[in-house]
Structure 1
Amino acid sequence: MENSPEYLYHYTNIETLALILANHTFRLTSLDQMDDLQEKEAFDLKNAGQFCYVSSWTDDETENIPMWKMYSSLNAGVRIKLKANPFKEFENTPSSISEVTRQTVTDNSNGSYLKSIIPIADMLKNGFIAPGALGNNILHKVEYTSDSSKLYPKLLNQDGDKFSIALGNLGKHKNIHWEFQHEWRYILLLMPLNLNQAVDKSVKEFQATSTKILFGQAKQAFPFYDLTLDEHAYAQMEITLSPKISAGNRLIVNSLIEKYNPSAVLHESSLLGLI
């Protein structure tokens, strides 16, 4: 994949902006809740898209009127600019894991701990795993295509009585009709799997969960997940007001920035007075 851009842009409404600023988080939502109904589908497995969580951005720094109208509002919206891969990395210390597992975890790290954008303790506590979270590069450029084999990817690989499921093929392709979005997206697979138990039980649960996914019977752990923003990236946030922002909504945005992120830079829309 080509190198990711330095900055990305996200169109949203003022209510969502308030939650982002107050909580220092950004939400990834399951594919089964996307506006493109093709996204949750696969060639061979039903309901698999529910385990793929995404946050959609664009690399187009030029304001886009259809994007304002579809994902924000001309008079009550904003466009957020953040550096790419802006998520906080947590240190997974033995003490944080021991607190959840209630078992002693030996510290052989010499002070250098595995980092992840979702704490391992949170996965253990809430009964899910997110392998892609063990790092801070979950960003993918969306490929627009009319190739049905990419739009409806084949996920099941079978060898005799053994099978594997390539959920990593989800969320990376969209129909060419959406090409105007110039989309990049953060993609995480969140699987409902409780590893906070004996090894033999974890193995059996993994096998059972895989079988449920195979037959379309597995259920997602939750419909969305909020990733914490890195404080440096958060402080460097830039916010553009929508082209026809009302006086009241302008006051709301200014108040939110003053209260939660005074270092953020506020811009007028380049379309102000033109539409």
Structure 2
Amino acid sequence: MNQCTDFLYHYTSIETLALILSNRTFRLNSLDQMDDLQEKETSDIKNIGQFCYISSWTDDETESIPMWKMYSSLDSGVRIKLKANPFKLFENTPESIKEVSVLPVTDESNGVYLKSIIPIADMMKKGYICPAAMSNNILHKVEYTSDPSKLYPKLVTYEGDKFSISLGTLGIHKNIHWEFQHEWRYILQFYPVNINQDPNILPTSVQIMANKILHGLEKQPFPFYDLQLDDVAFSEMEITLSPKISAGYRLIVNSLIEKYNPSALIHNSSLLGLI
């Protein structure tokens, strides 16, 4: 997280709210599905944005009419408030990894296990890797710019006949025309490489994947990923109803909260009766 913020806000539909509440998850979508068509582009690799997954939030506590209209609805939407970094941390115990590993697993950790927001066992079972999941630094404040070198970053570095690809700057910059969003993003990179194999073979698999990405031949492992919410963060959720919400939609939101998250708070919009 490149700056400090305590709470963030997310405008969405009541249908999406129902899925968030019932599954206790938040969805990250890849950059090639964003409304800003510049998002997926770089100066040197075609459509590499498909490997970068984000969830968009804002730090603007004041309700925004454009945000209601673009990402929710004035009469049938909600704005969710959650603490920053609300995702569950999983302990990657030898037992959990042993269940899916093709290689023997030993326990030399003395009971201290690496924690991650995505279980390593899930990566091994489904054949992908997400290095940033092991970090507590997936939240980034978007920088708005008109600098082409930032909007279309160069990701490939060559050293002789070898090369490396870094997605570290992807998804962090947006055109100044989007500055009204005051956006923060959770950003993860997912790569389609199977880490559940002989360590002697893995480097070759990684190199093959990198070559396919470089030439635009590799495909994303999945179009989205749902991150599990931490129980405490989930219970402290606050929901603002859209400014023109109908009695029926208000009843639906109340019913959803009563069933799935009774400790969550519901607020009327500060724009109620004004638009």
Q: TM-score range by the shorter chain?
A: over 0.9
Alignment of 1:55-74 (within 5 A): 55-74=55-74
The change in CA–CA distance for 1:126 and 1:2 in structure 2 (over 3 A counts) is closer
The change in CA–CA distance for 1:131 and 1:70 in structure 2 (over 3 A counts) is same
What's 2:98 paired with?
Answer: 98
User: Letter of the aligned partner of 2:244 in structure 1?
Assistant: K
What's 1:175 paired with?
Answer: 175
| CA deviation map 1:155-194 (0-9, x unaligned) | 0101110100011120000000000000000000000000
What's 2:83 paired with?
Answer: 83
CA distance in 1, matches of 2:110, 2:259: 40
Is the 1:118–1:227 Cα contact (8 Å) retained in structure 2?
yes
What's 1:227 paired with?
Answer: 227
What's 2:118 paired with?
Answer: 118
What's 1:273 paired with?
Answer: 273
SS of equivalent to 1:188: strand
CA distance in 1, matches of 2:137, 2:62: 25
**Structure 1 residue 102: Cα displacement:** 4.4
Is the 1:87–1:136 Cα contact (8 Å) retained in structure 2?
no
What's 2:20 paired with?
Answer: 20
User: Letter of the aligned partner of 2:67 in structure 1?
Assistant: M
CA distance in 1, matches of 2:183, 2:161: 39
CA distance in 2, matches of 1:48, 1:96: 32
CA distance in 1, matches of 2:80, 2:158: 43
**Where do 5+ consecutive residues of structure 2 fail to align?**
none
User: Letter of the aligned partner of 1:219 in structure 2?
Assistant: K
| CA deviation map 1:99-146 (0-9, x unaligned) | 001443111112111000000000001111100000333000000000
Instruction: Give every structure 1 segment of 4 or more consecutive aligned residues whose post-TM-superposition deviation is greater than 4 Å.
Output: none
Equivalent residue pairs, number: 275
| CA deviation map 1:73-98 (0-9, x unaligned) | 01110000000000000000001000
| CA deviation map 1:223-257 (0-9, x unaligned) | 00000000000000000000000111101000000
| CA deviation map 1:25-73 (0-9, x unaligned) | 0000000000000000000011110000000000000000000000000
What's 1:34 paired with?
Answer: 34
User: Letter of the aligned partner of 2:192 in structure 1?
Assistant: P
Bigger shift: residues 181-190 or 106-115: 106-115
Percent of paired sites with the same residue: 73
**Where do 5+ consecutive residues of structure 1 fail to align?**
none
Is the 2:102–2:197 Cα contact (8 Å) retained in structure 1?
no
SS of equivalent to 1:123: helix
TM-score of the aligned structures, taking structure 2 as reference length: 0.98
What's 2:53 paired with?
Answer: 53
SS of equivalent to 1:163: strand
Alignment of 1:146-161 (within 5 A): 146-161=146-161
TM-score of the aligned structures, taking structure 1 as reference length: 0.98
CA distance in 2, matches of 1:250, 1:117: 33
Is the 1:128–1:194 Cα contact (8 Å) retained in structure 2?
yes
What's 2:264 paired with?
Answer: 264
**Structure 1 residue 2: Cα displacement:** 4.7
CA distance in 1, matches of 2:222, 2:29: 9
Is the 1:57–1:185 Cα contact (8 Å) retained in structure 2?
yes
